[in-house]
């Protein structure tokens, strides 16, 4: 398989995994009613990327709503609060051509979250770091830094959802 075909296949597989039929949940769908409501305030963003905290918060909220196991509500009526901050946004070179020209880059995003039960103050997890990566090719107009950023964000959201829905 030539390099261009391989890249196209890899991108297609990645996009199908991200854009499938929503977020998969292994949850039984039976959550104790006293723990069924979650608040997700906007994430702080300590990176140089504008609006990254808002963007990731909205993706997390949408994934929780799509999963439909927990209900996203305001803090005053929530059983649990998921809060945190975006701690890293990096772009790095992944590979070069034989002539040492960079041809592939990677976006890396890290988010640090704490999940606390509001009524008891019990910490389900504290300062847990979730990371995501996405690659893009400089000579392929179908992949961009923005598409790599979306892949990284989707990976983070899947991991967060898996943890809060399965373990809560």
Domain ranges of the chain: 31-167
Is beta strand 123-137 parallel, antiparallel or unpaired with respect to 102-117? antiparallel
- What pTM, to 2 d.p., does this model score? 0.76
For residues 18 and 46, what is the distance between their CA atoms, to the nearest angstrom?
Answer: 26
Tens digits of per-residue pLDDT, 96-151?
Answer: 888 888 999 999 999 999 999 988 999 989 999 999 999 999 989 999 999 999 99
- Integer distance in angstroms from the first to the last C-alpha of the chain? 45
For residues 162 and 116, what is the distance between their CA atoms, to the nearest angstrom?
Answer: 16
pLDDT of residue 45: 98
**Which residues neighbour 110 within 8 Å (Cβ) at sequence distance 6 or greater?**
86, 87, 88, 129, 130, 131
User: Per-residue confidence at 3, pLDDT binned at 50, 70, 90?
Assistant: very low
- CA angle 69–70–73, rounded 5-degree value: 155
pLDDT of residue 10: 38
The conformation of residue 87, written as its DSSP 8-state character, comes to E
Tens digits of per-residue pLDDT, 25-83?
Answer: 444 455 667 678 999 999 999 999 999 999 999 999 999 999 999 999 999 999 999 99
Place of tokens 């292994």: 26
User: Per-residue confidence at 22, pLDDT binned at 50, 70, 90?
Assistant: very low
Adjacent-strand bridge partners of 84: 113
For residues 109 and 41, what is the distance between their CA atoms, to the nearest angstrom?
Answer: 19
For residues 154 and 128, what is the distance between their CA atoms, to the nearest angstrom?
Answer: 17
User: Per-residue confidence at 18, pLDDT binned at 50, 70, 90?
Assistant: very low
pLDDT of residue 97: 87
CATH fold of 31-167: Double Stranded RNA Binding Domain (3.30.160)
């Amino acid at each position: 398989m030539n390099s261009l075909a391989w890249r196209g296949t890899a991108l297609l597989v990645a996009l199908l995994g991200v854009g499938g039929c929503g977020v998969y949940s292994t949850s039984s769908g039976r959550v104790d009613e006293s723990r069924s409501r979650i608040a997700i305030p906007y994430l702080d963003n300590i990176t140089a990327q504008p609006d990254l905290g808002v963007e990731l918060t909205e993706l997390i909220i949408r994934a929780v709503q799509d999963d439909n196991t927990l209900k996203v509500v305001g803090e005053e009526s929530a059983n649990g609060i998921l809060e945190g901050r975006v701690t890293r946004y990096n772009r790095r070179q992944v590979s070069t051509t034989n002539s040492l020209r960079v041809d592939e880059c990677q976006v890396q995003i890290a988010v640090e979250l704490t999940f606390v039960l509001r009524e008891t103050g019990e910490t389900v997890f504290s300062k847990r770091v979730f990371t995501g990566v996405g690659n893009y090719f400089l000579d392929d107009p179908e992949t961009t830094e923005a598409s790599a950023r979306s892949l990284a964000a989707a990976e983070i959201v899947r991991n967060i959802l898996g943890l809060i829905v399965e373990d809560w």
